[in-house]
């Protein structure tokens, strides 16, 4: 069980549930492009491939994957936007 009070605070949320690869990643990327450095994006997806995609994207783009979890078939990600 996850204590939702311990989850990072998000500045913006993206609901990518029901979307197939690569759409959850693209939605996250578009949202992050419109955010300021240091802000946190919360992404929800149902595509299992998002686990690999989001982690790799964060690594390559320099963003910080603060937390990733799976609950009831949904994948939840918190990403802090990198400094320019």
Give me the active site residues, please.
21
The number of CA neighbours under 13 Å toward the Cβ of 78 is 13
Strand partners, 67: 78
| C-alpha to C-alpha distance for 41 and 31, rounded to whole angstroms | 8
């Amino acid at each position: 069980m996850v204590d939702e009070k311990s989850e990072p605070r998000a500045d913006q949320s993206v609901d990518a549930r029901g979307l197939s690869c690569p759409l959850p990643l693209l939605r996250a990327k578009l949202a992050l492009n419109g955010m300021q450095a240091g802000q946190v994006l919360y992404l929800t997806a149902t595509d299992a491939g998002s686990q690999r995609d989001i982690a790799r994207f964060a690594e390559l783009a320099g963003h910080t994957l603060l937390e990733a979890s799976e609950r009831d078939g949904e994948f939840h990600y918190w990403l802090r936007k990198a400094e320019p």
